Amino acid sequence: MTHGMVCAPQPEAVEAGALALKRGGNAVDAAIACALVQTVVDPQMCGIAGFGSLQLYLPGAGVHGCIDFHGRAPAAARPEMWADLVEWEAEDGFGFKLRGRVNDLGYQAVTTPGSLGAFHQALTRHGTLDWKQVLEPAIALAEEGFMIRPHVHDFWTRAEKFGLADPIERLRLTPSGRRIYFDQAGELRALGSILKNPDMARTLRRIADGIEVFYQGEIAEQMAADMACNGGLLTVEDIRNTRPEDTEPLWGEYRGYRIASNPPPGGGIMVIEMLQMLEHFDLKALGHNSPDYIRIVSEVMKRATVDKDRHVGDPRFVEVPLERLLSRDHAAGQAAAIRRGEIARVPRLGADSESPAIESPAIESKNTTQVSAADEHGNLVSMTHSLGMPSGAITEGLGFMYNGCMSVFDPRPGRTGSIAPGKARFTAMAPTIVFEGETPRLVLGAPGGTFITMGILQTILNVIDFGMTAGEAVAAPRFCTTSEVIDVVNRIPRFVTDELEARGYQVRRSYRGYHFAGVHAIGIVDGKWQGGADPGHDGMALEV
């Protein structure tokens, strides 16, 4: 047995990762076993036709790198194809509302399915267990069923506030969806009931013999035929050309700690940029979640968001000014502006209108999940993977839902996030590892749309500046500022937000006590692991 720890939002997935360790596997085996089960038991947060980003630290093998598997726009996509349909942009920057919702619901929303290929590449290169063996728990849960948890059911039954399709519309879009997620009376399957997905089980069994069937063979042809019949842009050539990409970690520093995160089109640049701005302030002296602390961190969040919107995208298509954005001069200049009391503005399309994007309370775009894993050999894995806003499309007989990544591309041509064939859109996914010298201290990541980087940031600050354990850092009350509004959880006192409002800030209170990303972290102190599973989700950290 390999000793280790797995931390993720789904108990069944964590158990599968722990079982991989008990079978003698390493952290990579554990992470991929966990991720495959996540695609079964949290099927709108992630899937084998999803996308994501993975960071691997394998010191014994001399490996430290990232695997990028962001979804890419189909070859048929064009920058101007939806330009005349745009209505407004979501307040938090997570997507655009188009007439007819063609970018959000249905087959046109789908980009390339990268997740399965990345899982397989990570396992076969760096794992120790057999691919079939690692798939077994996912197949069993698809076949025998899993219990519908509160976090899953909460997503299914919520109403969207930004004009996007309600989740229940996504579930009932196709005959397969209606059969999988609704009972014979047409009612949504109940909280605590058992959901079986035999189509998914059969698909996973076919994949167990090799993923070529998914990307090059019969499943690829089934997917492409279904796309063609339903007006989708994705073709069999797009599927066959889908490949994960090896990239180098992006590095930064904060108070003597070294921060490794993923490069663009992922969100690591935002995490590092924000930390380097905040290094100019004595946050501990300000007090955790004090009015001054929230003001300064919120101003940093806004400035990083503006830089992201203007400059950060797919480096294959746009020149990302990494050196400037991560420079000490840039951080110092932004910090000086904050000290002068300057209030940053975050422009959004529709911000001067009466669009629902502005009037509605903040809703977390959390169609994503996370797995963090560690083992006794010092191997670490942080992986964030997703469906974006799930498209709702399910090919008959395959059982899995496709990603909906097209919804976050900017439908206006000539911009950093504009549509182009083969292009990936920016995501805030930021699987991150914090080092003290050469020694890893914290491995973490989160679901949460544009809130991901903000949750990761606050968790790192909680550990480094305030001396919290991983569990304490993840559970501490959070806030998030991705627009003109400071959003706070309900556990931040009103006497704190009253003072912010007196200074001219607009503050919006969530009814949730735990909100703004779902951070899952493993701390490493004196060679021992600390688990930190976000209390706002259903998951856990499990050591074996």
Helices (H) and strands (E) in the chain, counts: 20, 20
Please report the pLDDT score of residue 366 as a whole number: 54
Q: How far apart are CA 200 and CA 397, in angstroms?
A: 8
Q: Tell me the two tokens of residue 271.
A: 């995490």
Neighbours of 344 (CB within 10 A): 18
Residue 253 DSSP SS3: strand
CA dihedral defined by 524, 525, 526, 528, rounded to 10 degrees?
-50
- Dihedral sign, CA of 275, 278, 282, 286? negative
Q: Are 463 and 443 in contact (CB under 8 A)?
A: no
Q: pLDDT tens, position by position, for the chain (544 residues)? A: 999 999 999 999 999 999 999 999 999 999 999 999 999 999 999 999 999 999 999 999 999 999 999 999 999 999 999 999 998 888 777 888 899 999 999 999 999 999 999 999 999 999 999 999 999 999 999 999 999 999 999 999 998 766 789 999 999 999 999 999 999 999 999 999 999 999 999 999 999 999 999 999 999 999 999 999 999 999 999 999 999 999 999 999 999 999 999 999 999 999 999 999 999 999 999 999 999 999 999 999 999 999 999 999 999 999 999 999 999 999 999 999 999 999 999 988 765 444 443 333 344 445 799 999 999 999 999 999 999 999 999 999 999 999 999 999 999 999 999 999 999 999 999 999 999 999 999 999 999 999 999 999 999 999 999 999 999 999 999 999 999 999 999 999 999 999 999 999 999 999 999 999 999 999 999 999 999 999 999 999 999 9
Q: Tell me the two tokens of residue 34.
A: 């966990």
Q: Tell me the two tokens of residue 105.
A: 């619901």
Indicate which residues carry an active-site annotation.
368
Q: How far apart are CA 282 and CA 339, in angstroms?
A: 12
User: What backbone torsions phi and psi does residue 25 show, to the nearest 5 degrees?
Assistant: -75, 170
- 172 dihedral zone (left: phi>0; alpha: psi -120 to 50; beta): alpha
Second-level CATH architecture of 247-364+429-533: Orthogonal Bundle (1.10)
Please report the pLDDT score of residue 91 as a whole number: 79
Residue 425 DSSP SS3: coil
CA 43 to chain CA centroid, Å, is 14
Q: For the chain, give every domain's residue range.
A: 4-245+370-408, 247-364+429-533
Q: Tell me the two tokens of residue 201.
A: 């089980």
Q: Are 304 and 310 in contact (CB under 8 A)?
A: no
Residue 428 DSSP SS3: coil
Q: How far apart are CA 102 and CA 56, in angstroms?
A: 36
In single-letter form, the type of residue at position 461 comes to: L
Please report the pLDDT score of residue 162 as a whole number: 62
3-state helix, strand, coil in the chain (%, to 5): 40, 20, 40
Q: Tell me the two tokens of residue 199.
A: 């189509």
